[in-house]
Amino acid sequence: MGQVTVIGSYVVDLMSRTPHLPVPGETVLGGPFQMGPGGKGGNQATAAARSGSDVTFVTKIGLDVFGEEAMRHFEREGFNVQFIKRSETDATGTALIAVDDRGENNIVIAPGACGTMKRLDVIEAETAIKKADILLIQLEISLEAIKAAIEQASIHRVPVLLNPAPYLPFPSDWLQHVTYATPNETEARGLTGVDVVDESSAQKAANFLHEKGVRVVIITLGEKGVYVSDGTSRGKFIEGFSVKAVDTTGAGDAFNGGFAHAVSSGMPVEEAVQFGQAVAALSVTKIGTAASMPSIEEIKAFLKS
């Protein structure tokens, strides 16, 4: 069992189905409505825990109804909640999500309390970082908090898995402390300036990140698969699994949480990638984000079949 520490966002997902995604100024009748736990940090922590890892989650939520539901979710999933902060002034974050009949989505995030995380919030969780087999971070909290997390992981020689989503510019010297980077095509372009459209361009983007210090680059390409490069030889394209998608909202988070579990548990990178792809594939067959993350029993059965 891997020890995974996740530092990141938690928001409540407020999701409705809709025949098609509205264009500006359009009102669309939708339904049904569903509320559930979300945020990239929360989703990835859930995916890792359900995959079998011992998960510590570091985030910030409000002293409100959504915050109470968040704590119940954390406890149900078996998270170590020692480093969950409760804000007396900021509400728990929310995400407004519309999902159309093809499973495509658009999302508006109001970060709330998790958007106020500071360096001190991370420093206070140093023991959780120190004991981790891997530190999983995203870009949905403040850069101040992310920088502190990377610094703490570097001090304690803990591998860092950076999911650079949603992409926003950050100091490139942070990448020298990143063990695994998992951008999608859009995030890879933001990080490197390279449009990833095929294996050649994927390798070009990966080489750029290797030069900045990233040891393993994993470019996720949706249903097409994943491009993996460790910088020692030409990278490899690994095809994804074919499933009928009903909601793609949490697929990237499912992959990252599953991969974090697998690689921290000792799986070789390519095998860990395939494990993460299985978690992602299963997640898109269900509605929701954290709620759609599969159990280890489901994952094993899927991989076996």
pLDDT in tens, the chain (305 residues): 789 999 999 999 898 989 999 989 999 998 889 899 999 999 999 999 999 999 999 999 999 999 999 999 999 999 999 999 999 999 999 989 898 888 788 888 899 999 999 999 999 999 999 999 999 999 999 999 999 999 999 999 999 999 999 999 999 999 999 999 999 999 999 999 999 999 999 999 999 999 999 999 999 998 789 999 998 888 999 998 989 888 888 899 999 999 999 999 999 999 999 999 999 999 999 988 898 999 999 999 999 98
Domain ranges of the chain: 3-304
- What pLDDT score was predicted for residue 103? 76
pLDDT of residue 145: 97
Residues labelled catalytic: 253
Q: Is residue 100 annotated as involved in ligand binding?
A: no
158 is in an annotated binding site: no
Order of all β-strands in the sheet with 33-38: 33-38, 11-17, 92-99, 105-112
Query: Is there a binding annotation on residue 144?
Result: no
Q: What pLDDT is stored for residue 246 in this prediction?
A: 82
pLDDT at residue 276, as a whole number:
97
Residue 39, annotated ligand binder?
A: yes
Among 184, 175, 214, 215, residue whose Cα is nearest residue 202: 184
Residue 64 marked as a ligand binder: no
Q: What is the 3-state secondary structure (H, E, C) of the chain?
A: CCEEEEECCCEEEEEEECCCCCCCCCCCCCCCEEEEEECHHHHHHHHHHHHCCEEEEEEEEECCHHHHHHHHHHHHHCCECCCEEEECCCCEEEEEEEECCCCCEEEEEEEEHHHHCCHHHHHCCHHHHHCCCEEEECCCCCHHHHHHHHHHHHHCCCCEEECCCCCCCCCHHHHHHCCEECCEHHHHHHHHCCCCCCHHHHHHHHHHHHHHCCCEEEEECHHHEEEEECCCCCCEEEECCCCCCCCCCCHHHHHHHHHHHHHHCCCCHHHHHHHHHHHHHHHCCCCCCHHHCCCHHHHHHHHHC
User: Any known ligand binding at 283?
Assistant: yes
247 is in an annotated binding site: yes
At 195 the pLDDT is 96
Quick one: pLDDT at residue 248? 82
Query: How confident is the model at residue 116, as a pLDDT?
Result: 96
The response to whether 127 counts as a known ligand-binding position is no
pLDDT for res 224: 85
Please check if 246 is assigned to a binding site.
no
**For the domain bounded by 3-304, which CATH number is listed?**
3.40.1190.20
